[in-house]
Structure 1
């Protein structure tokens, strides 16, 4: 045994072991397969060097949904089995998404469980919290918390259904977008978004949160054409705060993709829809007499949501300066208004030169309007325009050219209140101001009080029915009190303006009735009692030393009372002249004539008890002078001459019935031939001479579909003149003349015509400025040259797009306006035209973007043109260009302006002016 070979021994032992442990080996292999199968089901990674064949999974079936579906992500994926040995953990696993996702698609929605992704195709939409994404294709990655969105190509290969990203009020339209629902950050490619009036086209946008976006290679513009904007600011790097601002690094202006030298190292674009405080950039230029200047620079203060304030100033290198305060206020459903004050210290030439001059001018304007529904029983309104009489003509920052033609400044502030009841009581307080800019005279009432009671019918029936003369008797009560001041421009707002103030009150009680007689005649009768109060009277006496009449003021309360009586009777007559009795279809079918004759009788007693005498000693002896202590009374002096007069009146109206040119209409068309033709005169029964008053003739009509308005008037005197041109008690016809002597006449004609589309509409804030300044609403005196102030006013207006026509000149819109006036005077045989002028203006749109216009006037009496203005306007899409020119006259000047329409970039403009005091 000991000599046996080792190799043989080992082999023998090995073979023996295989035969003995076969069952154990089989059990081990079976256990290994079981463990591997279990481990693969749990998706554990295999060991290095081992390979596992891929297992093909069957995809989920495609589901087509038309409606929005809300699915919980955890339920869709199924719950995970915990592999940790600890059954219960204090830290719960975080869900894939923190909120529910709602989504829909037109064609299909496919969820791949292995990838944990949802695919939405064609008109897809995903809503997650406040985020809304719409696109042609949307992919939701649940494992990475990402949402991919992009467009799709249609059958023709066109990229369509670009993503639309909405979050709150922010809307972004990119080519594609990647959004992380966990961090709420995202990348947006080739996006387009609109902020207020600005549009931003960005190559790459990084969304940090809902209030901060970082931009790269972005274009900022206000153009409506986002595919090919006519201008934009290229922002290489920037930061966007939606609805607030855009802050950029180096940026410069591009016009049709052509870079311009206009650039800034950094820029700030406001996007806020609410008001913010900020600097108002001035405009600069040169004035021939005052040097270089900066105008309208200042600061804007948004005091509150209801009121704001803009403080602006002007400065000239010769020392002249100006200050402007502008404020607007409004409370919804209650009131709104604006307040403005302007002050200018003007220096002409230089100190030491013979033409050196220094002056100050100012202007105060206030407009207040109350909403009609705010308080039906009380109302407050204001329209104030006061200041230096020469403000509009001398101001160096006055660009509203029509204001220079105003001859009157007027103001009114009023408060009224109604006290309901029976009878109803009304009261009002009014302060007025009237200023003549030529004579510089000023008349003011500070204030005027008026009170009244409604009509009272003491004899009316219990049912309120009033029949006959007795039941129609009614009376009223009214009182008017004034503090009237008359002064001049030099004494305005000084103590001397109150020296000649007049204070008084007038009480009035009218009693009247009306009734019919013979069913066709209307009769009215009335009597009025008045009592006048005053705090100042006069006393006159003759000073023998100086041989003159002396008038002294007597302070103290005094009063006088008057009354009068009047009655009238009138009727209405109708006459129809039928020219188409046989129904032949004549063009002129009938004329209707309405006549309203009336006769009145008035009695005014003499109140000579209020008159006193004083002796005047002259060379011929002693004479007596007569006066009343109430001769300077605010409401006039009592009458000292008895008058009894008969008034005659006749009014006419002419209408025609014509065949309508439209053959489809069966009814005739009514047109007005004469809207009114009135005659009036009176006869003084108690007079001793010149009993007949001049006949007054007035009339008016409208022609050409109410486009032409005509008004005329004349005065016819039946009495003749002597050699001194004084009226004498002799009829003109008995003095070798005609029946009546034409003493005055006037004719006013206005005509407005236009093409079907009309001309340019000039209704804007400049029109309100002209009306507040006492000017005309039309443009016959020209238009404002303050184009910078008009920026943004028309930007949001909807404009009608005219149909394109090969022959555009057949559709050129135009408008034309005329105003003709002539006045004739011959009261003292002067036989002259006192005034004779023609004003005209018009606009023509040569193309949808080009318009020209002008306004002027001609004085036929002085043979010369008045204020003339020529204007040109070019619509440059997002820009506007204006040029106005006053070629001759006192205000000869020109103004060129080009700027962006949008109000958010209103400071981006170029403006050049030539002042009126410089030669062209």
Structure 2
């Protein structure tokens, strides 16, 4: 009967027939209690209508489907319970195809499914679902109208094999809200189907990647302060433009740390971050000789703002106490870091006129000595190149006159600097002012008395204003008798500088020849200048040789000559120097202000750049390819001759050579050669090495040669070469942009946690040979470095780096990395077997980005712990 009915009734009549059996509420005619949308049915094999006293039942068999609003239900068999307004779906016995329910973007599958059309709620037996890279399997599940999923006996994993995952988190009850968070009761980690001791009384797991508020997983380990749990806290995604996170750290010996970071980003306008960190670190126990408590603080601010297309503001502020990085950071680079600096700047340029203005405040602090240098402020103004005599319009055929080629620039720089260089503790204690040892730079900045006590200097600020006007021109001489038709480019230049100072230095001697230095309040303008002329040209030569497919060698020569004149501004006639005479009659000169250029210069500089090239011809004359130009060799030579020097007028000859062997090996050679001899004691004398009868032109003082090459296989999936990719490119913080504060994350992750299994193998090799002989002693160094990585299997990868010092016969900089790619996990092991930085590290984590920090077993490197001692004595 059902088969006959399905053959007689058309799809339209079938829908009308079913509609006649439905109550009015199902047809949507009762808007207060009924269904608000029509229901559509379809079946491939048959439709059975059962008219029982208990209610009308319709049964769809064979690839059945029911569509209602934005939801659809598909299964082998679907029962329509008209009285209850309910759908029930079943999969075929012995068939692997499951019942499938889809609502909006959510999809659920299961063995059996029940769905109420009125309440829009459902129940699934043997449920399965996925969202982003997360998968859920449950004995039973309920779906509410808002797509919230309640799970009984649930299994959660990011493995795309939910039936038998390599790992899973299992709980008796789970709740998935908006496919963003998974809330659970007591939860346990299973490796394959083996339960582990890792158990928590409740779970709160992210189910998708992206910015959202939630907890931050801790990092555990051990250092000189005891066992620790660090970086746990909470992340707040405040809105699309800002976020905030707070993190904490606890140590078993009583130390603790708190970190707060606020970030903001408004695309095309501004972005930045503010971070405040505080740590209270305790060494030892009370009564121990090295017991101490140290409090460290770090305040950092980074800001970038584009005010307009022609102006911007940026800031990078780092104010940290001297022991903060050494005590808190696990990164080796931070622990050996000696300076912190801050910069705040504003830039403005004027369109079309070539003017720009920059204002900057800066601070640089030496962590070990406490020395600080501040610029309050630095103001720079510049005018780009202008031609004051250029005519705005010329007649037809009129050429640019020589005076129109004159070009000038103008640069102004104003600096008000503050330098805090405290005396040593022993000096302050011996002077009877032990309390001055605790004076910091920021206290001395606002209190001249404290500055004088801590430094012994009464002049905290130095003012300087500089003006610079370079003038130049460029001419081309198309014909000179000695050179024929070779064009010569001539560039005369003149540079004038004027520096303004508000203080000068005065030196004198006492009767016992003790030096007395005084700062005098006096305005002095330091005016200096130099002039020069340079000339360069280019000519070519061709060697008509042919070797195989390579035809001819073209030699390009670019010689340059330049002459510079500068007076000796340290001479007494200029008024920029002073002098004093001791009791023996010896007179000593000194500069009254810094920046005085001493020594007469009349120097001729010369250099020549050589380029050797050849052409590779196509295989045959019928080939459509064009001949390809290949560079064979670049060779540059340069030196300088100072006519005003009393001796050693010719400076060292510099050589720079670059070439590529077989298109694979980059070779670079750099050397310096002295034209003068050495005496028996190894000092340079004013006697040339070159003699007309000999072949030796110069004496080598240093030579460095480097050869580098690298080869790699094609991508195993695409067959194309792959460029190097760092771990930093694989992960990004927030869509809002880069995070200016890296925090206390060590470099362990970069080296261990990522491996590109798409590249079966790669090999890089470099060899460096250097020789230095400035005097009689010769020193040599020859080091070979090799890096290799290869796949033992599609899932095992080995990477090794090693070096060998040929001269000393020692192996240097050796490390070994082993990577294992599991289906859902990745494991990495790093080992530095010997040397100053012996270490090992282990990392095992799931690949899922949002669970990587939660499900992670990591043994941090032990190469920094305990190496720097305890900070209580700092």
What's the TM-score, normalizing by structure 2?
0.78
Q: Distance in 2 between matches of 1:270 and 1:767?
A: 17
Change (3 A) 1:227 1:382: farther
Change (3 A) 1:831 1:270: closer
Q: What SS class does the counterpart of residue 470 from structure 1 fall into?
A: helix
Aligned pairs (5 A) from 1:21-36: none
Q: Is the 8 A contact 1:278 1:301 kept in 2?
A: yes
Q: Distance in 2 between matches of 1:550 and 1:576?
A: 68
Shift of 1:222: 0.9
Q: Is the 8 A contact 1:673 1:701 kept in 2?
A: yes
Q: Is the 8 A contact 1:103 1:127 kept in 2?
A: yes
Aligned pairs (5 A) from 1:82-161: 97-101=34-38, 103=40, 107=44, 126-135=66-75, 142-149=82-89, 158-160=95-97
Q: Distance in 2 between matches of 1:95 and 1:293?
A: 60
Give per-residue Cα distances to partners, 1:131-167, cap 9 Å, x unaligned: 34455665655543223445569xxx8544x444333
Shift of 1:597: 0.5
Change (3 A) 1:352 1:61: same
Aligned pairs (5 A) from 1:389-408: 394-395=326-327, 397-398=329-330, 400-401=331-332
Q: Distance in 2 between matches of 1:131 and 1:531?
A: 80
For residue 671 of structure 1, the aligned residue among 623, 630, 635 is 630
Aligned pairs (5 A) from 1:609-624: 609-619=574-584, 621=585, 623-624=586-587
1:480 matched residue in structure 2: 413
Say whether 1:221 aligns with 2:168.
no
Q: What SS class does the counterpart of residue 748 from structure 2 fall into?
A: coil
2:356 matched residue in structure 1: 426
Say whether 1:570 aligns with 2:536.
yes
Say whether 1:310 aligns with 2:275.
no
Q: Is the 8 A contact 2:6 2:46 kept in 1?
A: no
2:557 matched residue in structure 1: 595
Q: What SS class does the counterpart of residue 850 from structure 2 fall into?
A: helix
Q: Is the 8 A contact 1:402 1:784 kept in 2?
A: no
Q: Distance in 2 between matches of 1:204 and 1:683?
A: 91
Moved more, 552-561 or 864-873: 864-873
Say whether 1:449 aligns with 2:379.
yes
Change (3 A) 1:668 1:211: same
Say whether 1:462 aligns with 2:392.
yes
Say whether 1:203 aligns with 2:139.
yes
Give the paired residue count: 799
For residue 719 of structure 1, the aligned residue among 676, 688, 692 is 676
Give per-residue Cα distances to partners, 1:736-787, cap 9 Å, x unaligned: 9943122233334444332333699542279999xx999xxxxxxxx92248
Q: Distance in 2 between matches of 1:171 and 1:672?
A: 61
For residue 702 of structure 2, the aligned residue among 744, 748, 751 is 744
1:899 matched residue in structure 2: 845
Q: Distance in 2 between matches of 1:220 and 1:768?
A: 26
2:505 matched residue in structure 1: 538
Shift of 1:832: 2.4
Q: Is the 8 A contact 1:362 1:391 kept in 2?
A: yes
Shift of 1:653: 1.6
1:513 matched residue in structure 2: 473
Q: Is the 8 A contact 2:752 2:828 kept in 1?
A: no
Say whether 1:830 aligns with 2:777.
yes
Change (3 A) 1:579 1:861: closer
Shift of 1:574: 1.8
Q: Distance in 2 between matches of 1:749 and 1:342?
A: 46
Shift of 1:230: 1.6
2:822 matched residue in structure 1: 876
Shift of 1:616: 0.7
Change (3 A) 1:704 1:734: closer
Say whether 1:417 aligns with 2:368.
no
For residue 852 of structure 1, the aligned residue among 793, 798, 801 is 798
Aligned pairs (5 A) from 1:473-872: 473-484=406-417, 495=444, 502-518=462-478, 520-540=487-507, 542-580=508-546, 586-607=548-569, 608-619=573-584, 621=585, 623-630=586-593, 632=594, 636-637=595-596, 639-658=597-616, 666-674=625-633, 676-703=634-661, 705=663, 708-722=665-679, 725-733=682-690, 738-757=696-715, 761-764=725-728, 784-786=747-749, 813-818=760-765, 820-833=767-780, 837-858=783-804, 864-872=810-818
Moved more, 119-128 or 719-728: 119-128
Q: What SS class does the counterpart of residue 618 from structure 1 fall into?
A: coil
Shift of 1:201: 1.5
Q: Distance in 1 between matches of 2:295 and 2:764?
A: 38
Q: What SS class does the counterpart of residue 829 from structure 1 fall into?
A: coil
Q: Distance in 2 between matches of 1:767 and 1:720?
A: 58
Q: Is the 8 A contact 1:180 1:186 kept in 2?
A: yes
Q: Is the 8 A contact 1:765 1:790 kept in 2?
A: no
Q: Is the 8 A contact 2:134 2:208 kept in 1?
A: no
Q: Distance in 2 between matches of 1:616 and 1:136?
A: 111
Moved more, 453-462 or 135-144: 135-144
Q: What SS class does the counterpart of residue 35 from structure 2 fall into?
A: coil
Q: Distance in 2 between matches of 1:226 and 1:445?
A: 62
Q: Is the 8 A contact 2:207 2:850 kept in 1?
A: yes
Q: Distance in 1 between matches of 2:366 and 2:661?
A: 35
Change (3 A) 1:680 1:671: same
Q: Distance in 1 between matches of 2:363 and 2:234?
A: 32
Q: What SS class does the counterpart of residue 845 from structure 1 fall into?
A: strand
Shift of 1:216: 2.0
Q: What SS class does the counterpart of residue 904 from structure 1 fall into?
A: coil
Say whether 1:378 aligns with 2:344.
no
Q: Is the 8 A contact 1:64 1:108 kept in 2?
A: no
1:262 matched residue in structure 2: 198
Change (3 A) 1:429 1:110: farther
Structure 1 unaligned regions, length at least 5: 1-56, 81-91, 775-782, 803-811
Q: Is the 8 A contact 1:103 1:124 kept in 2?
A: no
Q: Distance in 2 between matches of 1:813 and 1:522?
A: 54
Shift of 1:586: 1.1
Moved more, 143-152 or 440-449: 440-449
Q: Is the 8 A contact 1:96 1:142 kept in 2?
A: no
Q: Distance in 2 between matches of 1:250 and 1:343?
A: 35
1:27 matched residue in structure 2: none
Q: Distance in 1 between matches of 2:368 and 2:672?
A: 28
Give per-residue Cα distances to partners, 1:720-749, cap 9 Å, x unaligned: 344554443332346999431222333344
Change (3 A) 1:203 1:573: same
Aligned pairs (5 A) from 1:161-200: 162-200=98-136
Shift of 1:451: 1.9
Q: Is the 8 A contact 1:131 1:165 kept in 2?
A: yes
Moved more, 142-151 or 657-666: 657-666
Q: Is the 8 A contact 1:174 1:190 kept in 2?
A: yes
Q: Distance in 2 between matches of 1:884 and 1:327?
A: 34
Q: Distance in 2 between matches of 1:420 and 1:907?
A: 53
Shift of 1:561: 1.7
1:887 matched residue in structure 2: 833
Shift of 1:223: 0.7
Shift of 1:522: 1.3
Q: Is the 8 A contact 1:70 1:103 kept in 2?
A: no
Q: Distance in 1 between matches of 2:590 and 2:180?
A: 76
Q: Distance in 1 between matches of 2:707 and 2:311?
A: 39
Q: Is the 8 A contact 2:378 2:415 kept in 1?
A: yes
